[in-house]
Structure 1
């Protein structure tokens, strides 16, 4: 990585989302050169490119994250939707893949949807789907609610299935999250003992983040893509977690 590419990466990490035009101006090179730099940085998994922008990998902006691997996430959401029956009450935690799942379900099935995601609730405002939006401390970047009030709300509602997102999975740590308070919300869901389903692309496997999602045994199914490595699949099998893989 040369000095300019280091500067670009620093700018993206600081601002979370930067246009190619702004990077070109800030670094005094053409947009063609910036695109070449971004291609290299994305190939090395330092950032993601999204329609004329560079986005930090750890961005909580749901719109930005949704456009990363959008086609794959749509197929993951389509498969997850096939597991939900008309008339069910389900919980959807948040994140880009889960937002696509929520939209799919709201357009095709008669369900009641419980969520902590204001983004998902807003996404479904023009649909006939009944949405229960739980309360709590509002996280502006992720557009989700967290905290003790959210835990209390989760304890007071019933749902038959829960779809949750993760930030990492490793055999030594299990499922993990970057955010302590969002992990606390997921753990409150896992404690209810319903059918818990992880919906995520395979890039999260092999990553470790500080906050564990527990108990691991409360997760019954993982829906991910065909790039899931065999060692991770075998470890999930050993935990009696059913794995469904989807092709892009």
Structure 2
């Protein structure tokens, strides 16, 4: 990275419900990223640190319980601002419900985040899911993330967190779409489907993301 390029560290959804052993939607190897994330926070010279947080209301459209359906199945749900149209929605166990322990950042991470961390909450609209830290899945609503990055003069975004095949993927792709140089730290991401990770890495590279190791960004 060029010395003059301002860089942000973007921590994607490192929350209790995505971590074993007790998370309701735990990524099996999710805790493996924590030492790397802690190191990035301790040793990195970041111009901005951002932490995205899934913050779902009760009865969220992505919850299987909302529809009386089975988790990990898909159903059509109404498309916002397009009467009569639908989109396919993956259904999950209830997770990251506002005000619950599962919604909170992992305890060790909470201790290491400075007071100047920018927290970006997503998935707050009951009617639409939001994988990316930039916008919901239909691009109907945008989070403050793009404004925060531009206001800080950020050129490069370093992405870590959970999960590679969902929220990390869509966040990194959107980062590229918005014109940021986007680096994904391989040691500091894990996927729901570990077998699909290599395919996701290939897709990220097609969008312009760079796959790097932790030593490349420290």
Q: TM-score, normalised by structure 2?
A: 0.39
Greater fraction of residues in helix: 1
TM-score normalised by structure 1 residue count: 0.36
Q: Which has the bigger relative contact order, CA under 8 A and spacing at least 6?
A: 2
* Structure of larger gyration radius: 1
